[in-house]
Amino acid sequence: MIETNAFKKGVCFVYKGEPMIIADYTVSTPTARGGNTIFKTKLRNLKSGQILNESIRSGEKFEEVDMERHKDKALVARRTFTFAAKSNSVPMTVDEIAACARHCAVVLTDSNPAVPAAVLGLRQGENLMVDKNGVWDRTTYIPGYVWRYPFIFLERQTANQFALCIDEESGLVGDGGGSRALFADGQPSEITRRALSFCSTYHHQFMATKDFIKAMTDTNLLNEKVAQVPIGDGQKVALQGLQVIDELRLKELADKDFLALRRRGYLGAVYCQLMSQNNRSSLARRMSARMPPAS
Protein backbone atom coordinates (compact mmCIF):
# COMPACT_ATOMS: atom_id res chain seq x y z
CA MET A 1 0.00 0.00 0.00
CA ILE A 2 1.08 3.58 -0.66
CA GLU A 3 0.37 6.32 1.90
CA THR A 4 0.21 10.03 1.25
CA ASN A 5 3.53 10.59 3.05
CA ALA A 6 5.17 8.70 0.15
CA PHE A 7 3.70 11.03 -2.48
CA LYS A 8 6.13 12.51 -4.99
CA LYS A 9 6.15 13.16 -8.70
CA GLY A 10 6.18 9.90 -10.64
CA VAL A 11 4.60 7.72 -7.92
CA CYS A 12 1.93 5.40 -9.34
CA PHE A 13 -1.12 4.00 -7.57
CA VAL A 14 -4.71 2.96 -8.15
CA TYR A 15 -7.23 5.76 -7.60
CA LYS A 16 -10.96 5.25 -8.09
CA GLY A 17 -10.19 2.02 -9.93
CA GLU A 18 -7.83 3.65 -12.42
CA PRO A 19 -3.98 3.52 -12.63
CA MET A 20 -2.65 7.02 -11.97
CA ILE A 21 0.73 8.73 -11.85
CA ILE A 22 1.37 11.90 -9.84
CA ALA A 23 2.25 14.68 -12.30
CA ASP A 24 2.41 17.38 -9.62
CA TYR A 25 1.19 18.10 -6.09
CA THR A 26 1.20 20.67 -3.30
CA VAL A 27 0.62 20.23 0.42
CA SER A 28 -1.91 22.38 2.24
CA THR A 29 -1.44 22.39 6.02
CA PRO A 30 -4.47 22.94 8.30
CA THR A 31 -4.97 26.33 9.93
CA ALA A 32 -7.33 25.02 12.59
CA ARG A 33 -6.57 22.54 15.36
CA GLY A 34 -7.59 19.04 14.35
CA GLY A 35 -7.72 19.85 10.66
CA ASN A 36 -6.40 17.46 8.02
CA THR A 37 -3.35 18.08 5.86
CA ILE A 38 -4.51 18.05 2.24
CA PHE A 39 -2.47 16.87 -0.73
CA LYS A 40 -3.66 18.77 -3.80
CA THR A 41 -2.62 16.45 -6.62
CA LYS A 42 -2.55 16.58 -10.39
CA LEU A 43 -2.93 12.97 -11.50
CA ARG A 44 -2.48 11.60 -15.03
CA ASN A 45 -4.46 8.52 -15.99
CA LEU A 46 -1.98 5.94 -17.31
CA LYS A 47 -4.60 4.48 -19.63
CA SER A 48 -6.21 7.55 -21.17
CA GLY A 49 -3.67 10.31 -20.46
CA GLN A 50 -6.39 12.52 -19.00
CA ILE A 51 -5.52 14.86 -16.14
CA LEU A 52 -7.44 14.72 -12.87
CA ASN A 53 -7.13 17.29 -10.08
CA GLU A 54 -7.89 15.73 -6.69
CA SER A 55 -7.57 16.82 -3.05
CA ILE A 56 -6.50 13.83 -0.94
CA ARG A 57 -6.44 13.82 2.85
CA SER A 58 -3.26 12.93 4.70
CA GLY A 59 -3.13 9.33 5.88
CA GLU A 60 -5.18 7.81 3.07
CA LYS A 61 -3.79 4.57 1.64
CA PHE A 62 -3.85 3.34 -1.94
CA GLU A 63 -3.15 0.08 -3.74
CA GLU A 64 0.03 -0.01 -5.77
CA VAL A 65 -0.38 -0.43 -9.51
CA ASP A 66 0.00 -4.16 -10.12
CA MET A 67 -0.24 -5.22 -13.75
CA GLU A 68 2.43 -7.93 -13.78
CA ARG A 69 0.12 -10.93 -13.27
CA HIS A 70 0.25 -12.05 -16.91
CA LYS A 71 1.98 -15.42 -16.84
CA ASP A 72 -0.78 -17.13 -18.87
CA LYS A 73 -2.01 -14.09 -20.78
CA ALA A 74 -1.94 -13.09 -24.43
CA LEU A 75 -2.83 -10.01 -26.43
CA VAL A 76 -6.15 -10.20 -28.21
CA ALA A 77 -5.87 -10.75 -31.96
CA ARG A 78 -7.94 -7.72 -32.93
CA ARG A 79 -6.95 -4.31 -31.60
CA THR A 80 -9.16 -1.25 -31.31
CA PHE A 81 -8.58 2.17 -29.81
CA THR A 82 -11.82 2.33 -27.84
CA PHE A 83 -9.76 2.92 -24.69
CA ALA A 84 -8.58 6.24 -26.16
CA ALA A 85 -11.95 7.37 -27.56
CA LYS A 86 -12.55 9.79 -24.67
CA SER A 87 -9.03 11.27 -24.55
CA ASN A 88 -9.12 14.71 -26.14
CA SER A 89 -5.35 15.06 -25.64
CA VAL A 90 -2.41 12.78 -24.85
CA PRO A 91 1.22 13.42 -23.86
CA MET A 92 3.90 13.14 -26.51
CA THR A 93 7.67 13.38 -26.86
CA VAL A 94 9.73 16.02 -28.64
CA ASP A 95 10.65 13.39 -31.27
CA GLU A 96 6.97 13.10 -32.23
CA ILE A 97 6.14 16.78 -32.64
CA ALA A 98 6.97 16.92 -36.38
CA ALA A 99 4.87 13.85 -37.25
CA CYS A 100 1.97 14.87 -35.02
CA ALA A 101 1.97 18.45 -36.28
CA ARG A 102 0.75 17.22 -39.69
CA HIS A 103 -2.66 16.30 -38.24
CA CYS A 104 -3.12 17.70 -34.72
CA ALA A 105 -2.52 20.87 -32.80
CA VAL A 106 0.54 20.46 -30.59
CA VAL A 107 0.46 22.35 -27.29
CA LEU A 108 2.22 22.22 -23.95
CA THR A 109 0.42 21.63 -20.68
CA ASP A 110 0.33 24.33 -18.00
CA SER A 111 1.85 21.92 -15.47
CA ASN A 112 5.31 22.38 -13.97
CA PRO A 113 7.24 21.13 -15.82
CA ALA A 114 5.19 21.40 -18.98
CA VAL A 115 4.57 18.36 -21.18
CA PRO A 116 4.01 18.42 -24.97
CA ALA A 117 0.54 17.17 -25.84
CA ALA A 118 -1.36 16.28 -28.98
CA VAL A 119 -4.81 17.87 -29.11
CA LEU A 120 -7.12 15.17 -30.47
CA GLY A 121 -10.48 16.80 -29.75
CA LEU A 122 -12.02 20.14 -28.85
CA ARG A 123 -14.34 18.91 -26.10
CA GLN A 124 -13.73 16.94 -22.93
CA GLY A 125 -14.28 13.22 -23.45
CA GLU A 126 -14.07 13.28 -27.25
CA ASN A 127 -11.21 12.02 -29.42
CA LEU A 128 -11.97 13.06 -32.99
CA MET A 129 -9.43 10.58 -34.39
CA VAL A 130 -11.36 7.52 -33.13
CA ASP A 131 -14.70 6.58 -34.67
CA LYS A 132 -17.67 4.88 -32.98
CA ASN A 133 -16.17 1.45 -33.74
CA GLY A 134 -12.90 2.27 -32.00
CA VAL A 135 -10.98 2.63 -35.27
CA TRP A 136 -8.29 5.32 -35.35
CA ASP A 137 -8.22 7.39 -38.54
CA ARG A 138 -5.40 5.70 -40.45
CA THR A 139 -4.49 8.89 -42.29
CA THR A 140 -3.37 10.50 -39.03
CA TYR A 141 -0.47 9.96 -36.65
CA ILE A 142 -0.96 7.73 -33.59
CA PRO A 143 1.15 8.99 -30.65
CA GLY A 144 3.50 6.54 -28.96
CA TYR A 145 1.67 7.10 -25.67
CA VAL A 146 -1.35 5.43 -27.31
CA TRP A 147 0.55 2.79 -29.30
CA ARG A 148 2.31 1.36 -26.28
CA TYR A 149 -0.96 0.59 -24.45
CA PRO A 150 -1.84 -1.85 -22.78
CA PHE A 151 1.87 -2.01 -21.92
CA ILE A 152 3.04 0.62 -19.43
CA PHE A 153 6.63 1.34 -18.39
CA LEU A 154 6.57 2.19 -14.69
CA GLU A 155 9.34 3.45 -12.45
CA ARG A 156 9.69 1.45 -9.25
CA GLN A 157 10.00 3.09 -5.85
CA THR A 158 13.74 2.35 -6.06
CA ALA A 159 15.31 4.97 -8.33
CA ASN A 160 16.44 3.97 -11.83
CA GLN A 161 14.52 0.68 -11.79
CA PHE A 162 11.66 0.14 -14.20
CA ALA A 163 9.09 -2.57 -14.83
CA LEU A 164 7.17 -3.42 -17.98
CA CYS A 165 3.58 -3.76 -16.81
CA ILE A 166 0.34 -4.57 -18.56
CA ASP A 167 -3.21 -3.48 -17.82
CA GLU A 168 -5.35 -6.62 -17.59
CA GLU A 169 -8.53 -4.52 -17.48
CA SER A 170 -7.83 -2.90 -20.84
CA GLY A 171 -9.88 -5.39 -22.85
CA LEU A 172 -6.76 -6.04 -24.93
CA VAL A 173 -5.50 -8.96 -22.82
CA GLY A 174 -6.98 -12.45 -22.64
CA ASP A 175 -6.19 -16.01 -21.70
CA GLY A 176 -4.32 -18.27 -24.07
CA GLY A 177 -1.06 -18.79 -25.85
CA GLY A 178 0.01 -19.01 -29.47
CA SER A 179 1.84 -16.34 -31.39
CA ARG A 180 0.46 -13.54 -29.21
CA ALA A 181 1.32 -15.08 -25.82
CA LEU A 182 3.21 -12.83 -23.43
CA PHE A 183 5.46 -15.67 -22.24
CA ALA A 184 6.86 -18.74 -23.98
CA ASP A 185 8.81 -21.51 -22.24
CA GLY A 186 9.11 -19.39 -19.11
CA GLN A 187 10.67 -16.46 -21.01
CA PRO A 188 9.24 -13.22 -22.40
CA SER A 189 7.82 -13.87 -25.85
CA GLU A 190 8.78 -11.99 -29.00
CA ILE A 191 5.73 -9.72 -28.64
CA THR A 192 6.72 -8.89 -25.06
CA ARG A 193 10.32 -8.19 -26.05
CA ARG A 194 9.12 -5.84 -28.79
CA ALA A 195 6.89 -4.07 -26.28
CA LEU A 196 9.82 -3.73 -23.89
CA SER A 197 12.01 -2.29 -26.65
CA PHE A 198 9.29 0.16 -27.72
CA CYS A 199 8.54 1.30 -24.15
CA SER A 200 12.25 1.64 -23.36
CA THR A 201 12.83 3.79 -26.44
CA TYR A 202 9.74 5.84 -25.62
CA HIS A 203 10.98 6.37 -22.07
CA HIS A 204 14.36 7.64 -23.30
CA GLN A 205 12.58 10.01 -25.70
CA PHE A 206 10.40 11.23 -22.85
CA MET A 207 13.50 11.98 -20.75
CA ALA A 208 14.99 13.90 -23.71
CA THR A 209 11.74 15.84 -23.90
CA LYS A 210 12.39 17.17 -20.41
CA ASP A 211 15.57 18.81 -21.73
CA PHE A 212 13.58 20.37 -24.57
CA ILE A 213 11.01 21.75 -22.12
CA LYS A 214 13.77 23.17 -19.92
CA ALA A 215 15.26 24.94 -22.93
CA MET A 216 11.86 26.46 -23.78
CA THR A 217 11.40 27.56 -20.17
CA ASP A 218 14.91 28.96 -19.77
CA THR A 219 14.51 31.10 -22.90
CA ASN A 220 11.03 32.25 -21.79
CA LEU A 221 9.42 31.07 -25.03
CA LEU A 222 6.30 29.52 -23.48
CA ASN A 223 3.15 31.58 -23.13
CA GLU A 224 -0.18 30.60 -21.59
CA LYS A 225 -3.05 30.86 -24.02
CA VAL A 226 -6.80 30.38 -24.28
CA ALA A 227 -7.59 29.40 -27.87
CA GLN A 228 -11.02 30.25 -29.26
CA VAL A 229 -11.78 27.79 -32.06
CA PRO A 230 -14.70 28.61 -34.42
CA ILE A 231 -16.91 25.56 -35.11
CA GLY A 232 -19.50 27.18 -37.37
CA ASP A 233 -22.80 29.04 -36.97
CA GLY A 234 -21.02 31.68 -34.94
CA GLN A 235 -20.11 29.20 -32.20
CA LYS A 236 -16.67 28.84 -30.63
CA VAL A 237 -14.97 26.30 -28.39
CA ALA A 238 -12.40 27.47 -25.84
CA LEU A 239 -9.23 25.43 -25.29
CA GLN A 240 -7.84 26.27 -21.86
CA GLY A 241 -5.02 25.19 -19.57
CA LEU A 242 -2.39 25.13 -22.29
CA GLN A 243 0.78 26.87 -23.35
CA VAL A 244 2.26 27.50 -26.78
CA ILE A 245 5.58 28.79 -28.06
CA ASP A 246 5.30 32.54 -28.44
CA GLU A 247 6.25 33.48 -31.99
CA LEU A 248 7.05 37.10 -31.12
CA ARG A 249 9.36 36.04 -28.28
CA LEU A 250 11.07 33.65 -30.68
CA LYS A 251 11.68 36.48 -33.16
CA GLU A 252 13.15 38.65 -30.41
CA LEU A 253 15.32 35.88 -28.95
CA ALA A 254 18.97 36.80 -28.53
CA ASP A 255 21.22 35.41 -31.24
CA LYS A 256 23.24 33.31 -28.81
CA ASP A 257 20.09 31.67 -27.42
CA PHE A 258 18.66 31.06 -30.90
CA LEU A 259 21.90 29.45 -32.04
CA ALA A 260 21.95 27.31 -28.90
CA LEU A 261 18.50 25.96 -29.80
CA ARG A 262 19.74 25.24 -33.32
CA ARG A 263 22.81 23.39 -32.08
CA ARG A 264 20.65 21.21 -29.85
CA GLY A 265 18.34 20.34 -32.76
CA TYR A 266 15.24 21.95 -31.26
CA LEU A 267 14.27 24.42 -34.00
CA GLY A 268 12.42 21.83 -36.07
CA ALA A 269 10.16 20.98 -33.14
CA VAL A 270 9.69 24.68 -32.36
CA TYR A 271 8.51 25.60 -35.85
CA CYS A 272 6.36 22.47 -36.17
CA GLN A 273 4.61 23.36 -32.92
CA LEU A 274 3.91 26.85 -34.25
CA MET A 275 2.58 25.60 -37.60
CA SER A 276 0.45 22.90 -35.97
CA GLN A 277 -1.90 25.54 -34.58
CA ASN A 278 -3.46 25.71 -38.06
CA ASN A 279 -4.82 22.21 -37.42
CA ARG A 280 -7.38 23.59 -34.98
CA SER A 281 -9.59 24.36 -37.97
CA SER A 282 -9.38 20.77 -39.22
CA LEU A 283 -10.33 19.55 -35.74
CA ALA A 284 -13.30 21.91 -35.87
CA ARG A 285 -14.38 20.39 -39.20
CA ARG A 286 -14.15 16.89 -37.74
CA MET A 287 -16.21 18.00 -34.77
CA SER A 288 -18.85 19.63 -36.96
CA ALA A 289 -19.17 16.44 -39.01
CA ARG A 290 -20.10 14.55 -35.83
CA MET A 291 -22.66 17.06 -34.59
CA PRO A 292 -26.34 16.40 -35.40
CA PRO A 293 -27.76 18.66 -38.11
CA ALA A 294 -29.56 21.76 -36.92
CA SER A 295 -33.33 21.33 -36.80
Q: What is the CA radius of gyration of the chain?
A: 21
What percent of the residues of the chain are helix, what percent strand, and what percent coil, each to the nearest 5? 30, 30, 40
Segment 16-27, tens digit of pLDDT: 767 777 888 888
Average pLDDT along the chain: 83
Same domain, yes or no: 146 and 233: yes
Same domain, yes or no: 141 and 33: no
Q: What string of DSSP letters covers 136-187?
A: B-TTS---HHHHTTTEEEEE-SSTT-EEEEE-GGGSSEEE--GGGBSEETTE
CA distance 140 to 136: 8
Per-residue pLDDT, 105: 93
Residue 27 lies in a domain: yes
pLDDT band at 203 (very low <50, low <70, confident <90, very high): confident
Same domain, yes or no: 154 and 130: yes
pLDDT band at 68 (very low <50, low <70, confident <90, very high): very low
Same domain, yes or no: 158 and 44: no
Same domain, yes or no: 211 and 232: yes
- Rounded to 10°, the helix 255-263/267-276 angle is 100
Segment 249-282, tens digit of pLDDT: 999 999 999 999 999 999 999 999 999 999 998 9
Q: Which position has the higher pLDDT, 81 or 75? A: 81
Same domain, yes or no: 105 and 16: no
Q: Find the domain containing 14 and state its range.
A: 2-62
Same domain, yes or no: 39 and 143: no
Q: How many domains does the chain have?
A: 2
